[in-house]
């Protein structure tokens, strides 16, 4: 039997009407003879609402109890979807993460999947049932429910597809696939029919919202083919697979897309005494405080002093600045910060070993008179940090200059 895992996000199961639409889709796949596993998220904004409630009853709710609470969102969705399928004459069983054999370790609120025991799911599939699994949760060694962190249902779906050796994992969402840029900003943005997992992971980490980057990486690791589609419209969507078709080899598109992220701020330590070990003195305390740092730039030291700048999300800006301030003082320097920044990235495996892609990006931004605050490059992306209010025009211009509108897809 060929197995397919379908995942529906919160917006696809937001209301009873939506759940009925999902049930119709699942019914079709079931009738086509597929072994079907459906992963669902909590309805609409349920997770946000539950988190807000937790904050209303306690100043510092315990992470274990938060997971206990949040896991109920997905439990509602799976039960409702099972009922809607029964109503259509389709045999289906809903399972919580723990019931599905998802074993999780790590911390509450940011668990990682250690193992999947798929026997129960397999037995149900063999009986011809649709198996509906609650996303974003599993059981830890204590037997407690633990979540995978926000957006974790994508990861559940891809992990299940890997464990069940599914033919593919279909991610249903509120957009028609992955686009060459955010279509709300670039009206001429196009759906990308096929993208490599390396490019997709890079795009997801750098701001493309359509899929959780962790799920994309897991898919790459286990060779799971992922299809991103709209849950509202029929269409081919975007296929993410390890190796993009090899037919076009070097003639293929060099740039897959332009992605941006408006949740960026920068902290700079200026005039600090540098020497061996300085970077670790700065970044170890930040890591300990759980601040995740993205782009890092150090200026060439002049007379033993240099500047070190790094970016963090806006939520972590105040904390990062405070910690950096203490470190800067201990190294004879000062701290500065800029909160309202954004990042724009040009992503594509075709850029590998081809000079000129970064230069072209700087040229385009220069013509717009956009100040570039920081730059980071790798084989498959060039990222510039800019003032947040210049990001949209930069994305539009780069989309044009890299000719992403014109390409035949």
User: From ligand ASP, Mg ion, none, which one binds at residue 345 (CB under 5 to 8 Å depending on kind)?
Assistant: none
The CB-of-74 to ligand ASP minimum distance in angstroms stands at 6
The CB-of-72 to ligand ASP minimum distance in angstroms stands at 11
- Pick 6 or 41: Cβ nearer Mg ion: 41
User: From Mg ion, ligand ASP, none, which one binds at residue 132 (CB under 5 to 8 Å depending on kind)?
Assistant: none
The CB-of-405 to ligand ASP minimum distance in angstroms stands at 32
CA-wise closest residue to 53 among 73, 38, 33 = 73
User: From Mg ion, ligand ASP, none, which one binds at residue 42 (CB under 5 to 8 Å depending on kind)?
Assistant: ligand ASP
- Pick 80 or 374: Cβ nearer Mg ion: 80
Q: How far is CA 311 from CA 25, 76, 263, 269, 327, in A?
A: 42, 38, 10, 12, 16
- Pick 211 or 240: Cβ nearer Mg ion: 211
User: From ligand ASP, Mg ion, none, which one binds at residue 45 (CB under 5 to 8 Å depending on kind)?
Assistant: none
- Pick 99 or 376: Cβ nearer ligand ASP: 99
Closest residue to Mg ion, based on beta-carbon distance: 10
* Contact positions vs Mg ion (CB under 5 A): 9-10, 41
The CB-of-155 to ligand ASP minimum distance in angstroms stands at 8
- The C-alpha R_g of the chain, in whole angstroms, comes to 23
- Pick 75 or 399: Cβ nearer ligand ASP: 75
The CB-of-315 to Mg ion minimum distance in angstroms stands at 18
- Phi/psi at 129 (nearest 5 deg)? -90, 150
CA-wise closest residue to 255 among 382, 396, 392 = 382
User: From ligand ASP, Mg ion, none, which one binds at residue 135 (CB under 5 to 8 Å depending on kind)?
Assistant: ligand ASP
User: From Mg ion, ligand ASP, none, which one binds at residue 129 (CB under 5 to 8 Å depending on kind)?
Assistant: none
CA-wise closest residue to 107 among 156, 69, 141 = 141
User: From Mg ion, ligand ASP, none, which one binds at residue 98 (CB under 5 to 8 Å depending on kind)?
Assistant: none
- Pick 12 or 345: Cβ nearer ligand ASP: 12
- Pick 35 or 73: Cβ nearer ligand ASP: 73
The CB-of-171 to ligand ASP minimum distance in angstroms stands at 11
How far apart are the two ends of the chain, measured CA to CA in Å?
Answer: 33
Q: How far apart are CA 224 and CA 313, in angstroms?
A: 30
- Going by DSSP bridges, is the β-strand pair 130-134/92-95 parallel, antiparallel, or unpaired? parallel
User: From ligand ASP, Mg ion, none, which one binds at residue 197 (CB under 5 to 8 Å depending on kind)?
Assistant: none
Report yes or no: 264 and 313 within 8 Å, Cβ to Cβ: yes
The CB-of-297 to ligand ASP minimum distance in angstroms stands at 32
- Pick 41 or 265: Cβ nearer ligand ASP: 41
The CB-of-113 to ligand ASP minimum distance in angstroms stands at 14
- Pick 136 or 172: Cβ nearer ligand ASP: 136
Q: How far apart are CA 192 and CA 253, in angstroms?
A: 11
Give 214's contacts (C-beta < 8 A, 6+ positions apart).
Answer: 152, 154, 155
The CB-of-357 to ligand ASP minimum distance in angstroms stands at 33
Report yes or no: 399 and 273 within 8 Å, Cβ to Cβ: no
* Contact positions vs ligand ASP (CB under 6 A): 9-10, 41-42, 47, 73, 135-136, 150-153
């Amino acid at each position: 039997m060929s197995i397919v895992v379908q995942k529906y996000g919160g917006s696809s199961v937001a209301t009873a009407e939506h759940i009925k639409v999902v049930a119709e889709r699942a019914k079709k796949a079931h009738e086509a003879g597929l072994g079907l596993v459906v992963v669902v998220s909590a309805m609409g904004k349920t997770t946000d609402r539950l988190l807000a409630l937790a904050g209303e009853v306690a100043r510092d709710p315990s992470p274990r109890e938060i997971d206990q609470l949040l896991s109920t969102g997905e439990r509602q969705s799976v039960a409702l979807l099972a009922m809607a399928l029964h109503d259509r004459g389709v045999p289906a069983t809903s399972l919580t993460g723990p019931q599905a054999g998802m074993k999780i370790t790590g911390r509450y609120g940011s668990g990682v999947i250690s193992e999947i025991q798929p026997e129960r799911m397999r037995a149900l599939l063999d009986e011809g049932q649709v198996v509906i699994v609650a996303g974003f949760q599993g059981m830890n060694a204590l037997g407690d429910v633990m979540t995978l962190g926000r957006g974790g249902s994508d990861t559940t779906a891809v992990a299940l597809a890997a464990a069940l050796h599914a033919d593919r994992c279909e991610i249903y969402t509120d957009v028609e696939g992955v686009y060459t840029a955010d279509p709300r900003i670039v009206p001429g943005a196009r759906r990308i029919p096929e993208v490599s997992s390396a490019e997709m992971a890079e795009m997801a980490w750098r701001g493309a919202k359509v899929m959780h980057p962790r799920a994309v990486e897991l898919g790459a690791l286990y060779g799971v083919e992922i299809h991103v589609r709209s849950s509202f419209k029929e269409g081919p969507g975007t296929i993410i697979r390890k190796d993009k078709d090899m037919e076009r080899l070097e003639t293929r598109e060099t740039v897959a897309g332009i992605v941006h992220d408006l949740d960026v701020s920068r902290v700079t330590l200026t005039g600090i005494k540098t020497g061996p070990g300085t970077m670790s003195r700065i970044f170890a305390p930040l890591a300990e405080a759980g601040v995740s740092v993205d782009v890092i730039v150090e200026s060439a030291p002049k007379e033993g002093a240099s500047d070190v700048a790094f970016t963090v999300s806006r939520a972590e800006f105040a904390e990062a600045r405070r910690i950096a301030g203490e470190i800067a003082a201990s190294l004879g320097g000062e701290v500065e910060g800029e909160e309202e920044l954004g990042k724009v990235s040009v992503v594509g495996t075709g850029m590998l070993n081809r000079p000129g892609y970064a230069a072209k990006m700087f040229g385009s931004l220069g013509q717009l008179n956009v100040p570039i605050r920081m730059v980071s490059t790798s084989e498959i992306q060039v990222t510039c940090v800019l003032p947040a209010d210049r990001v949209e025009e930069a994305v539009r211009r780069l989309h044009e200059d890299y000719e992403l509108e014109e390409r035949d897809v």
